[in-house]
Amino acid sequence: MNYKNIVLATSNKGKIDEFSAILQPLGFKIRLQKEFKVKDAEENGLSFIENALIKARNAAKFANMAALADDSGICVDALDGMPGIYSARFSGEHGNDIANNEKLLELLLPYKKISQRKAHYVCALAYVQNHKDPDPIIAIASWHGYIAFSPKGSHGFGYDPIFMLENRALSAAQIPPQLKNLMSHRALALFELKEKLRLRYEQ
């Protein structure tokens, strides 16, 4: 099996462009799981890593090739880590960014100081050579900041308009996409994964 041919466990074309930009220099070719009619896995893990592995193994099994998956979200200290792995469906409707943001802001209304609103984005990546791979490659990274009192900015997606960066008076939705792609949780996890893949396959 050619372990450099990878099925990406998502139907988001934007992600394949982002992942390919990082991994193509190592000779990896990435394809979306919908090309292989892979059905979405049931994300019943209790952590970002568990869910990334579930999705990667599911895609590898049905596409019969190496697979890569990510699971990401935002964790708020004052809410004991919520919304966490439920970030995309926090409001009850999967992928409704506006509703998710509004619910989070409402829950944080009692917290009047920005110092009480610490939060961090998390991205976990899992690469498997096959669906039974006992030694998956895992990369995880965080991006720390605070939850703002109202949305700001027009870039990005998800919780970016209300995620204020550490040491910057800007939200993640106010910084240029090129800068975000160098400092975000997903970018940092991808750079870590790239190095781990290089060490495994380039020796």
Point out the residues that are catalytic. 71
Six token digits for residue 179? 């800068």
Q: Name the packing angle between helices 13-23 and 185-201 (round to 10°).
A: 50
84 burial type by CB count under 10 A (0-12 exposed, 13-18 middle, 19+ buried): middle
The candidate with the shortest Cα–Cα distance to 115, out of 81, 148, 162, 80, is: 148
**Spatial separation of the C-alpha atoms in residues 52 and 12, rounded to whole Å:** 15
The candidate with the shortest Cα–Cα distance to 48, out of 84, 88, 95, is: 84
**Spatial separation of the C-alpha atoms in residues 27 and 96, rounded to whole Å:** 35
